[in-house]
Structure 1
C-alpha cells in the first residue's frame, strides 16, 4: 500500500540523516492523517490508495502553483525548496498520462457517454475522473475536452 511505502521511506530517510526529505515525508504523513480525520465525517474513497493519491495530487498541485509564484516574484531559493518537495511527492504518485493517452481517453469517454456537444462536457469529465482519476491531469483534460467539441 502507498501509505506503508511512505512510512518506510520516512524511516529510511531519517536513518540516512536526510533532513529535507524527512521533513517532506513527514508533511505528507500529516496531510494524510488530516484527510483521514476529514474522511470520518464525510465521504471517503473506498480504496486507501485512492485517498493517499488524492492527498499527494493536491500537494503536488499546490507545489507547482507555489513554484510559479516564487519564480515570478524573484524568490528562486523558495522555488528551489518547493521543487525539492515536489520531487519527493511525485515519487509516490502514479505515472500521469501524456497528452496522446489523454486524448484517447477523452474519445473513449465521449463514445461511452454519447457526448455530442459542449453541453455534455460535465458527463465526459465525470467519466474521465471515474476511469482515470489517479493518472489523469484533470486541468489538461478539461482543455482538451473543450477543444474536442470545437
Structure 2
C-alpha cells in the first residue's frame, strides 16, 4: 500500500474513532496532496507525498518557535500535536553517522574539492536523503567536508 492510500485509510480510521485532532491533521495532508495534484496535473507518488509532508513539518516547527516566542503556548501545543501526527508518516531518520557516511560517499563520487562543488553534492544527496535526514544538517556537514 502506498503512502497516499495509507493516509486515506488513517483518515477513515480517525473518523470512526472520532479522533478530531488526528482527523484535522490528516485532512491538512490530503488537502495539500490534492492541491499539488490539481496544480501540477500529476498523480502523486510516495516521494512527492513525503516532500509535501516534510514541508508541512518544517512549517509546524517554524510556527512552534514563533508561537513560543510570542507567549502563545496554547497555539504551540496545537502545532506540536499536528507535528507528531505528521512525523508518523516520515520514514525512520538516519543517524548523524549514517548521514556523514552518505556525505563522504557523495564527495568521493562527485570528486568535490571545494566550496564551489556544494551544489553538485547537494544535488546528489537530496534524492538519497530527502525525508530521512534534515537537509539543513546535511548542508552543514557538506560545508564541513568541503572545507577540509
Range of TM-score over shorter length: over 0.9
Q: Secondary structure at the match of 1:84?
A: helix
Aligned Cα root-mean-square deviation (Å): 1.4
Is the Cα contact below 8 Å between 2:37 and 2:44 reproduced in 1? no
Aligned residues: 146
Q: Tell me the distance in 2 between the aligned counterparts of 1:2 and 1:59.
A: 16
Shift of 1:25: 0.6
TM-score (norm 2): 0.93
Look up the match of 2:122.
125
Is the Cα contact below 8 Å between 2:112 and 2:146 reproduced in 1? no
| Structure 1: segments with no counterpart, 5+ residues | none
Look up the match of 2:20.
19
Q: 1:81 aligns with which of 78, 81, 89?
A: 78
Deviations 1:50-107 (A, max 9, x none): 1110110000000011011111111111111000000010111111222111111100
| Structure 2: segments with no counterpart, 5+ residues | none
TM-score (norm 1): 0.92
Is the Cα contact below 8 Å between 1:109 and 1:127 reproduced in 2? yes
Q: Tell me the distance in 2 between the aligned counterparts of 1:47 and 1:98.
A: 28
